[in-house]
Structures are given as structure tokens and as C-alpha cells.
Structure 1
């Protein structure tokens, strides 16, 4: 079950999976397509932002169940090509960094240290960050206009999406998948929501819900990300020890 929990965490972070089970979604709404296009244009010049993440994963197999709650936050400076992200579970806090085209993933105890991987140069650097990756998900999915919705007391515009496994696969973060086998996993359902500021067209919050199965086990995950601090002064500092002899083949014990 541990491997399925890891798998569903990866998929919920746009890591991709195997086959999709379900009916084909209806065609996109033109108004929703236009809203996503405006959102993409609105974030193109963004130089910096911050994000907060909340993820809940529940898995069950052979009469047993397990839940994982992950909280996180981070900061992105596009012009400096730097990102910091911190995730925390009940007993672990993990930091990760991107410096240029090198990504450093913190390894859990008892190993510690960092694993290093290359960031793809085939797409703009910003597409490796949460905000741009979520908008890209909507660009490549069937999308639907849901109109005005109040979020935390503020008026927003809501667009939903029905991403397929192929869509998730097309924008997956390959650095995250190398140590967790996803063969045989099936994506049974995936839905996404994107709340936009009606004045700036910038994303305020995104949500992805997925359900996958693997070898008789099932897992569901909901990941919510809030985006704030657009173009506010953002300095991403990276501790010197991140660069000290990092693991080249992923974190120990991740397989």
C-alpha cells in the first residue's frame, strides 16, 4: 500500500500514470477556453509568486486503510530561475529547491541530504513551477465554464477540467517518477478546478482530485494550491549544504 500512496501522491502532483477508465468528457465550453487563454496570458509576464499547498491522500487494500496529510508552501522567482518548496507530514519536513536547471530534492530521514536531477530545457523554465504547470493542465484538457463563485469572501471565476491520463502524462514532472513504479496503475477518475481573479485573470487557487487503482488497492487524493504575492519582491535563498555531494540517482530508500 505504501507504493500506491506514493504513486497517488505523484499523480496528484502531475506525475502521470497508466490507463484512464471512464467515458470521454464532453467538448470544451468556448467561454472556458477563452478564460484559460486569458489566464495563460496573465501569468506569462509574472516574475515571482508564492504558493501554499494542502494534499490529502487516502488508500485502502486488503481491509486496511491509510491516510496521509501533506502541507506545504513555496516561493518562485522566475527571472532568477529559483524555486523553494517545503512539504510537511506528521513526522517529516522536506525541503526542495530548483536553481537554474538543477533540482534538489530533500531526502527523508535517516538518510538526509539531497538528490539532484536536471530540469528540462525543452520548455520555458517557468513551466516547471506549480502555477504554470496547473494552467498548462487546463490548456491541454477539456474545460468548462462554471461562472462566478465566492472563494474566501472574494469573487472569482471558476473553470473546471476533465484531464485524461495522457494529458497528465504529457506534462508530468519526470524527475519525480523515477523511483516509484507505476506499471499497472489505472487512473479511474480525475477532475480539476481553477479559480481566477475576474479583474486580473490570474489564478487564485487550483484543485486536482484523482482516484487510481493498482493490484486491487485504491487511492484517492485531493491537492489544493493557493497562489499569492504576484510580482512582490521574492528572494529564494538556497542553503550551501544543498550542493554538498548530492545523490545522483535519487534519494536512498525511495524505491
Structure 2
């Protein structure tokens, strides 16, 4: 994978980790605010669920177009504060675990070790996909967009428009800008909430990035299922010789 496309894939991963949405003069629909509050309460009362998603990044760099596609799936065991996930890219599958705030990430390739680091979060739930997705709607513009059917279920559609500042900043021990300060445009977050349970059924995040003459479009679609099922996550014992402190090289 060439480096420009890789940088953009990292941007999507950062987005999935959640953002602090800041900025003045936003429009927030009262009905959408109420639905979001109900969704947050519902997901906080959920002990287990499964997720699967697709990440697509299409980048044009120096008149050359590249595409990165990643498939993800996993299980959240909130009662035990554990999560297990897989990511597949170019036919290679990488595994990861979250045990309370300790993350284990399979590096793969020639570096056959597990990266181990401690996640910084006051609330453990903010490290999980459903809560992260909902957090993107907490600030910025938010609209109620009627109802739609998703996987045979009636859902309420919320549409959020986070600011460029929100998508280019994230908190990871310190605040820093992605790509040295690109332009982020046309950012949109869509969340489909189950009309009966208020839980997220599907989310979609899309934004465009430009820097100089280089541009990219990133789209992440995620689905949630098996809420409250008998799913559990067991974290294997990883020998110290197979561990690497920090991120994968």
C-alpha cells in the first residue's frame, strides 16, 4: 500500500475513535436531540453486541488514483469491558483485543508481534464502536430525517454535520492535526436508530480531504446486531516475547 492512501486510511481509523465536535452557529433539531439521548441511554444499558463494517478510501495523488478497502467485524462484551475485532485488508486478516483499557493489536507481516498499549479514556464505553459513532452527533449540526427500513426493521434516521475542526483534531495523549492541516469538506454522519429499541442499527460516515492538489474521499459504513446476545470475549494469554510496547512499527 502506498503511503498517501495509508495516511488516509489512518484518518478513517481516527474518525472511528471519536472526535470532539466544536464550532459555533450549529443547527440542532429538538426531535433529533431527543432521539440521540434515547439512543445513548439504550446503548449504555446494553451489555453485548456485534458489529461489522466497511471502510473505503479513494485518493487522487499526483494524478494517480488509489483505493483502500478494509472490512471489520467484532464483538463487544461491555459487561466484562472487553472487545474482540478483526480487520481484513488485501486478503490479510489482523486481530485485536481490548481488555479494559489495554489494547492488543496484531501487527502481521514481517513484524510478527502484538502491539500493546494503554488507552486513555475516563469512560470505558467511549472506546467501543456504537458509543463512538453516537458521540459524533453530540455537537455540530444535527437533523431528524424521517424513518427508513434497515434489515427489515423500522429506523429513525439522524444526520449530523461535524465541523472541519472536529475531523482534523483528535485526542491521543495530546491534540494534534491530521496531515499537517488539510482541508476537510462535506463531512456527514448518518445514524439509523431502531424505532423500537432506540439502539443503532447502521451508521455511515463520509468526508472529503484535500491538501494541495491531492484529494480523497473516505466512507465508513457500520452495522450493529445481536444486542444482548450470549456473546462473550476471552482474551488469550500473549507471551511477553510476542508483545511490542506501543503501536505497530
Instruction: Name the TM tier (shorter chain).
Output: 0.7 to 0.9
The answer to whether structure 1 residue 104 and structure 2 residue 107 are counterparts is no
* Stretches of structure 2 lacking an aligned partner (at least 5 in a row): 17-22
Query: 1:155 deviation in Å?
Result: 1.5
Deviations 1:101-120 (A, max 9, x none): 11112113011211111111
Q: Within 5 A, what are the aligned runs for 1:189-200?
A: 189-200=186-197
Unaligned ranges ≥5, structure 1: 17-22
1:50 maps to which residue? 50
Write 1 or 2 for the structure with the bigger share of strand: 2
**Equivalent residue for 2:179, pick from 179, 182, 202:** 182
Give the deviation of 1:169 after TM superposition.
5.8
Does structure 1 conserve the Cα–Cα contact (< 8 Å) formed by 2:144 and 2:158? yes
Give the TM-score normalised by structure 1: 0.85
SS in 1 for 2:36: helix
Q: Is 2:106–2:114's contact at 8 Å kept on the other side of the alignment? A: yes
Is the 1:186–1:213 contact (alpha carbons within 8 Å) kept by the matching residues of 2? yes
Q: What secondary structure is seen at the aligned counterpart in 2 of 1:52? A: strand
SS at match of 2:228: coil
Distance across 2 between alignment mates of 1:44 and 1:169: 27
Q: Which residue of 2 aligns with 1:11?
A: 11
Q: Which fold has the larger relative contact order, with Cα–Cα distance below 8 Å and residues 6 or more apart in sequence? A: 1
Aligned-CA RMSD value: 2.6
Alignment length (residue pairs) = 242
Q: How far has the Cα of 1:147 moved from its partner? A: 0.5
- Paired residues for 1:222-233 under 5 Å: 222-233=219-230
Q: What CA deviation, in whole Å up to 9, does each residue of 1:119-149 have, x standing for no partner?
A: 114x210111110111111112321010011
Matches within 5 A, 1:166-245: 166-168=165-167, 172=170, 174=172, 182-241=179-238, 244-245=241-242
Separation in 1 of the partners of 2:163 and 2:4?
Answer: 19
Question: 1:5 deviation in Å?
Answer: 2.1
Equivalent in the alignment of 2:40: 40
1:81 Cα deviation after fit: 1.1
Shift in alpha-carbon separation, 1:76–1:183, aligned structure 2, 3 A: same
Q: Which residue of 2 aligns with 1:154?
A: 153
| TM-score (norm. length: structure 2) | 0.87
Once the two structures are superposed, what CA deviation does each residue of 1:201-231 show, in whole Å capped at 9, x if it has no partner? 1110111001112343211111111011111
